[in-house]
Structure 1
Amino acid sequence: MLEQIATDIRNGLDGKNFDGSLKFDCGTDGVIILDNGSVTTREQPTDCTLRLSTENLKKLLRGQLNPMTAVMMGKIKISGDMGVAMKLGKLIG
């Protein structure tokens, strides 16, 4: 399920730099990990975790969901290093 999204993220990051590690935790659907430029769906520890639904992840990556608004509305829960989460906002913004 998340493998296609991971592939899309991988393609979208091509040529861009992402320092640090970030986990999109979509609950029972699985996880997508960004780790210093690589993208995987294998669970591992990360600097920052974003918990959200798969549907909201898709909207976020398409630019249909504002990250700050989503956090305020409780659609995204962030734990760990907020600085890493802010870097993501610059990548997809």
Structure 2
Amino acid sequence: MSDVITAAVAALSTKMGGGFAAGVAKFVIPGEGAIMVDSDGVRAGDDEADVTLTAEAEVFRAMIEGDLNPTSAFMTGKLTVDGSMGLAMQLGAALA
């Protein structure tokens, strides 16, 4: 597992506490790996998901740190969403 994924899992775990009960989400960081978020918590992995969000490492980091709004990232093309847009919006609210 890459250092970027390890750091992202730790940051998301802190941010999201007990996980994400609304469904299964996957964050993909190209060239680094993927992170799964569900009701069990946050972990590195590349399983099936209800929604997949893809962003470069620096975009992902800015969203986690609160420097970039996930909706703004999506609207400017820095974040792509594949799957349930409603679930992506709930996840974005959880990250804010």
TM over 0.5: yes
Which one of the candidate residues 2, 8, 11 is aligned to 2:14? 11
The answer to whether 1:57 aligns with 2:52 is no
1:28, distance to aligned residue in structure 2 (A): 1.2
Which residue of the partner structure matches residue 24 of structure 1? 27
CA shift digits 1:15-62 (9 cap, x unpaired): 565320111111111111102241111110000001100110000011
Structure 2, unaligned stretches of length 5 or more? none
RMSD over aligned CA atoms reads 1.5
Equivalences for 1:50-89 in 2 at 5 Å? 50-89=53-92
Structure 1, unaligned stretches of length 5 or more? none
Contact 1:18–1:87, Cα closer than 8 Å, also in 2: no
Q: For residues 85 and 40 of structure 2, what CA distance do their matches in structure 1 show?
A: 18
- Provide runs of 4+ in structure 1 moved above 6 Å: none
Q: For residues 56 and 38 of structure 1, what CA distance do their matches in structure 2 show?
A: 22
Identity between Structure 1 and Structure 2 (%): 29
Give the match's secondary structure for 1:3.
helix
Read off the aligned partner of 1:40 and give its amino acid letter: R
The answer to whether 1:41 aligns with 2:48 is no
